[in-house]
Chains A and B, each alone.
Chain A
């Protein structure tokens, strides 16, 4: 069964360092997403991406964050200068159509980011 894969599963970094989290969405999906979950808190929407551009982003997704689809298969989340509060589990997801029209988002296992 097709699945969304994420790497790394866990990354530890120093505050101020750049981090790139990688995702391979399901191959025929057109919509891509990043969510995150700070320990003990809700899963929060960060950004959605369609047709090589951001379609929606939350207030969390500030200038420190960026996304791109560099080669038609990978979908990456970059954090330019990590802060302690960026420590969280980051989930990538993909869907065939706009999430609100089907609700079927397929999620990866998550990448745990720890900022020291």
Chain B
């Protein structure tokens, strides 16, 4: 079935370090791909998305490229800040369906 696998956390980094959170997917059709973020005490927020192969989603310095050949959508940021500390969820959805399929989430902790 359709699924999303993302790296286990927590990921612990110093401020200004480079971030990669890996995400791979399995899908029967052609999904759209997303990264959601959950800051402490808040709901899930859409961070970025990509709807077709080779699209790059970007927001707040974060980027992810839809790689169909490797079925991946890795999240990257060149220089993390303490305020980026949160849980990051990779997700997919198939066209014309209601169901977002999430990964387990990866907690990022950034220290000054």
A residues with a Cβ closer than 8 A to B are 3-4, 6, 31, 33, 35, 37, 40-45, 48, 55-56, 58, 91, 93, 98-101, 103-110
Contact A98 B96 (CB under 8 A): yes
Bound Cα distance A93, B100 (Å): 11
Contact B100 A105 (CB under 8 A): yes
Interface size on B, residues (CB 8 A): 27
Q: Chain B contacts of A108 at CB under 8 A?
A: 43
Contact A110 B99 (CB under 8 A): no
Bound Cα distance A35, B89 (Å): 14
Query: Could you give, for residues 19-51 of chain B, a 1 whenever the CB lies within 8 Å of some chain A CB and a 0 otherwise?
Result: 000000000000010101000011111100101
Known contacts A42-B103, A110-B43; A103/B32 CB under 8 A = yes
Q: Chain A contacts of B94 at CB under 8 A?
A: 100
Bound Cα distance A110, B87 (Å): 14
Interface residue B101 (Cβ < 8 Å from any Cβ of A): yes
